[in-house]
Amino acid sequence: MKYTVLGAGAMGLRYGVLLQEAGFDVDFVDTWDEQVETIRKQKGVYVSRDGQNKHLVPVNVYYPEEYKGDPDVLIVFTKQYQLADFLKRSARFFNDRQYVVTCMNGMGHVDKLNQYFPKERLLGGTALIGTVLNKAGDVDFIGPKGAGSMNIANETEKPDEMTHKIVDEFQQAGLNPNLTTNFLGTLMAKVIFNSVINTLCTMFKIRMGEYIQSPVAQKLGVQLIDEAFDVCERTGITLLNTRQEEWETVKYVSTVSNPLHFPSMYQDISKNRQTEVDYINGYIYDLGLKYHYEAKTHDFLRNLVHLAEFAGTFD
Ligand code: NAD
């Protein structure tokens, strides 16, 4: 099938380049001038793995206003706060046949995507792998070939023929998709994971492996997980994991999978970019409020990140 990636940043490039290397037709659409112009000038994107074997991969990149392609599937990887504008600028090439797949972090994107794509053609998921955009036109895939995996679910929770085709092609690209039939539970499991690891590592400028070695890591993590689970229980969201399993996942990823990785929120704040904290800890707090429950630790943490942004702590 033909794929168009909306958001040719770290993760968009990872998914798109892997699909392209597996033999599928891929275009990239981006709104960041420096990225589009650099990729065009150097005739591709520089790709490395864990800092090794940097090589140029030719890719087609377009601004939304000039794109003329007709993809079967759109893969959306913008930051949460960029999405509304990105969709508005790209709507001219959307049609009522296309499916959309997104594995962005946080929550808020599904409602925005539903303004253009009905739930019957929307697949949401979680990307369980790190990728770093070193600078415009230069991306580093964390982990060896075949590393990482993803969960994916239909918003309807009813996989159709197209879903299986997408999952099959993602498998051929080495993205290791795991199809579930629990849409909100799948997405929220990652929101909760990030509400611990992304936010705490960012606040203290530490790698995941450093966080997990701290004697207070479990106390902090479990408190955040407990509050988030309390919110989900009130909303009727059935999570994929138990509270204990969610903590074990945080421990496993920090110790075994990605100990040397700085979470993407840290990458944002260290580059003076806006974070997605309002869509992670902020989302959990705001969701709880709708059900008369205050996830106060999440709100406190969200505000601490905003204080750090305001104070220029990371300049
Ligand atoms: P990214 O910042 O690399 O790219 C997103 C968009 O921002 C792209 O359009 C990119 O061109 C643009 N951009 C990048 N740097 C910019 C700059 N300095 N100024 C202006 N625009 C810039 O984002 P990403 O890491 O690919 O994340 C996309 C989504 O995937 C987010 O929701 C993120 O939380 C999630 N995610 C990221 C990772 C990761 O390891 N990077 C892993 C899992 C999920």
Q: What are the tens digits of pLDDT across the range 75-84?
A: 999 999 999 9
Residues 6+ apart with CB under 8 A from 299: 281, 282, 285
Over residues 152-172, the pLDDT tens digits come to: 999 999 999 999 999 999 999
Asked if residue 311 has pLDDT above 90, the reply is no
Tell me, using a 6 A CB cutoff, whether residue 202 lines ligand 1.
Answer: no
Is the C-beta atom of 102 inside 6 A of ligand 1? no
Largest CA distance in the chain: 55
pLDDT band at 130 (very low <50, low <70, confident <90, very high): confident
- For the cut 80, the answer to whether the pLDDT of residue 315 exceeds it is no
Give 3-state DSSP helix, strand, coil % of the chain, rounded to 5.
50, 20, 30
Compute, in angstroms, the gap from residue 292 CA to the centroid of ligand 1: 33
**Predicted pLDDT of residue 12:** 98
Confidence category of residue 243, pLDDT binned at 50, 70, 90: very high
Mean pLDDT of 278-300: 98
Instruction: Give CA torsion, residues 171, 177, 181, 185, to 10 deg.
Output: -170
* Top mutation candidate among 31, 61, 77 for ligand 1, by most atoms within 8 Å of CB: 77
**ipTM of this complex:** 0.99
Between 270 and 49, the more confident residue is: 49
Mean pLDDT of 187-203: 96
pLDDT over 80 at 48, yes or no: yes
Does 33 score more than 90 pLDDT?
yes
Distance (angstroms) between ligand 1 centre and the Cα of 133 equals 8
> Is the C-beta atom of 177 inside 6 A of ligand 1?
no
* Residues 272, 23: Cα–Cα separation, whole Å: 37
Kindly give the number of the ligand 1 atom that is closest to the alpha carbon of 109. 32
**Which atom of ligand 1 approaches the CA of 271 most closely?**
18
- Nearest protein Cα to ligand 1, atom 16: 32
Is the CB of 30 inside a 6 Å radius of any atom of ligand 1? yes
- Residue 271 CB–ligand 1 contact under 6 Å: yes
Q: Which amino acid is at 85?
A: D
pLDDT of residue 297 exceeding 70: yes
Ligand 1 touching residue 268 (CB < 6 A):
no
Q: Is the pLDDT of residue 257 over 90?
A: no
Q: Confirm or reject: Cβ of 264 under 6 Å from ligand 1.
A: yes
Confidence band (pLDDT; 50, 70, 90) for 191?
very high
Q: What is the pTM of this model?
A: 0.96
pLDDT tens for residues 92-120? Answer: 999 999 999 999 999 999 999 999 999 99
- The mean pLDDT of the chain is 96
Could you tell me the distance, in angstroms and rounded to a whole number, from the CA of residue 279 to the centre of ligand 1? 14
**Inter-residue contact 137 to 45 (CB < 8 Å):** yes
Alpha carbons 313 and 33: distance in angstroms, whole number: 27
What does DSSP assign to residue 157?
A: S
- pLDDT average, residue stretch 129-139: 95
Distance CA 302, CA 296 (A): 10
